[in-house]
Amino acid sequence: MTDQGRDTAVGAVEFMYRPRHGDVVAGIRVRDRIRRLVYVRWGFTLLFAALGVRTLVAYESPLIAAGLAFFCAALIWATPHLQAHHVIRTVEWQGDYRTAVSAAGITTASNHCVLTQYWTMFRGYRETRDHFVLFSRDRNILCVEVLPKRALPGPQAADQLRALLARHIAPASS
């Protein structure tokens, strides 16, 4: 991480990555599971799909009505991917992110900005196979910090990051 006037804390885990679509989708999916929005999304997806099938089978209505119902079902199902696409379009111009996780918090820098988030910003985290996902304290978890494991320098860095997270924030409960 470039020293842009800040000291790097001893024992910090540092890594560099370029955000990917899959990183953002993983963060959104984990957040949706915690908020139980997965059930709502799948419920509406199945409702619109059933409406489309019913329109095709039971009524002699135009094909456009069934097509519209199936389109709505697909759009509801694809919401996390659409959100991730929007996020990536918003941040991709910033290039690589250099992140340091230390006892003070998480500092992320790009060529254009530096963001420091203290541990009090987060209420919990969840570890997935490929990511560490941290959740903001607000009721609806509007902010999600995704730390991709692929950017860690080695397995010992993952263990060190796991220990830092466990020391400062609790694993998120479902």
**Is the predicted pLDDT of residue 6 greater than 60, yes or no?**
no
Using a pLDDT cut of 90, give the percent of the chain over it: 67
What's the mean pLDDT in 17-29?
A: 93
Distance between CA atoms of residues 107 and 116, nearest Å: 4
Whole-structure pTM over 0.85, yes or no?
no
Per-position DSSP letters for 123-136, written without gaps between them: EEEEE-SSEEEEEE
Distance between CA atoms of residues 99 and 14, nearest Å: 6
pLDDT tier at 11 (50, 70, 90 boundaries)?
Answer: confident
**pLDDT for residue 170:** 83
Q: Tens digits of per-residue pLDDT, 43-98? A: 999 999 999 888 888 777 778 888 899 999 999 999 999 999 999 999 989 999 99
Q: Which residues sit opposite 154 in a β-bridge? A: none
Q: Specify the range with the lowest mean pLDDT, choosing from 11-25, 87-101, 102-116, 160-174.
A: 160-174
Distance between CA atoms of residues 83 and 33, nearest Å: 16
Alpha helix (H) residue ranges in 19-109:
21-35, 37-58, 63-77, 79-91
Q: Tens digits of per-residue pLDDT, 123-145? A: 999 999 999 999 999 888 888 99
Distance between CA atoms of residues 11 and 3, nearest Å: 16
Q: Taking the C-alpha atoms of 78, 83, 89 and 93 in order, what is their torsion angle to the nearest 10 degrees?
A: -130
Q: State the average pLDDT for the chain.
A: 88
